[in-house]
Amino acid sequence: MRVIILLLVAIGIGSWYWNRQNTIDEESVNRFYDTATEHVLNGRSKALCAMMTKDFTRTGVNSTSQGRIQENADKEESCDKFDKMFTSLAQAGRQTGGQMSTNYQVSIDHIEIAPDHKSAEVKVSTQISMAIGPIGRIAETRDKSTETLVIRNGKLLLQKSEGSSITRTIGDRF
């Protein structure tokens, strides 16, 4: 009898753990974006890419002083953009004698979790700006996106991002 009770308790704990690891809640969404922010601030492109599904897609429109640019990218293209961006930022930091700083902020505007807790639609606003010591701010991008997060094998991943952004550089008004 004792063995049966222990077995039932173990099954109950195992089921609870399995369900907890394979469902999305607001806390896990917030942790996801906190982790992504840490990776951006530390230039970890491979870690950011590991947070995307294999079928990840990004669509959006970027408005600049030169006009509107339609952007479409899959995971490979997005990861390549991250690599290039972080390489460029590191190079710019070296060229300015370490006087370049980057500020990155994410604001979660709304979280809609699916009834089965296997996916979530998240509305986020991001802002990234770069400044050089005495010159001040030289570039800024503000983005508003709707993103789809899914849970796969106990891991929360970004599957889709759709949004629009505005990029300003030193010659534009801030």
- Which among 31, 14, 54 has a CA at the least distance from the CA of 120? 31
Q: Decide if pLDDT at 16 tops 60.
A: no
Q: Both tokens of residue 69?
A: 């640019």
pLDDT tens digits, residue range 93-120? 787 777 777 888 999 999 999 999 999 9
Upper half-sphere CA count for residue 19 (Cβ side, 13 Å) = 8
Average of per-residue pLDDT across 73-86: 93
From residue 50, how far is each of 84, 120, 155, 168 by CA, in Å? Answer: 17, 18, 10, 29
Q: Decide if pLDDT at 37 tops 90.
A: yes
Q: Decide if pLDDT at 161 tops 60.
A: yes
Give the angle subtended at the CA of 51 by the CAs of 89 and 169, to the nearest 5°.
30
Q: Decide if pLDDT at 132 tops 90.
A: no
Confidence of residue 149 (pLDDT cuts 50, 70, 90): very high
- The sign of the torsion formed by the CA atoms of 90, 95, 99, 102 equals negative
Enumerate helices (H) and strands (E) in the chain, giving the number of each.
4, 6
Average pLDDT across the chain, whole number: 85
